[in-house]
Amino acid sequence: MKVWLKDWYNQEYLRTDDLPLWLAGLKGKEFEREFLKEYMGNHADAVDPLRQCARQAIHPELRELCQRLAKRLNFGC
């Protein structure tokens, strides 16, 4: 996706924080439990925007990616 952003729109993805700071400091079972809780919510919130992307994207690569992700993330939402 970073390559598409650069190729299609000459924009860079500048975000460097892959994990929230509070999550990065956890270990073992505590990390796994909190990671699952955090990202299940994030993914559930992404389903509707991904469906919209699948309908509106002009680049077939992005449209197909959004379709696949929406199907995978729609875990009973």
Tens digit of each residue's pLDDT (9 = 90 or more) over 31-71: 898 888 887 777 778 888 999 999 999 999 999 999 998 88
End-to-end CA distance of the chain: 25
- The answer to whether 47 touches 77, Cβ cutoff 8 Å, is yes
Q: Look at residue 76 in the predicted model and tell me its pLDDT.
A: 46
What average pLDDT does the segment 4-10 reach? 90
Q: Quick check: 19 pLDDT over 90?
A: no
Of the pLDDT bands very low, low, confident and very high (cuts 50, 70, 90), residue 18 is low
- The answer to whether 39 touches 20, Cβ cutoff 8 Å, is no
Question: Residue ranges per domain, the chain?
Answer: 34-77
What average pLDDT does the segment 7-26 reach? 78
The structure's pTM equals 0.60
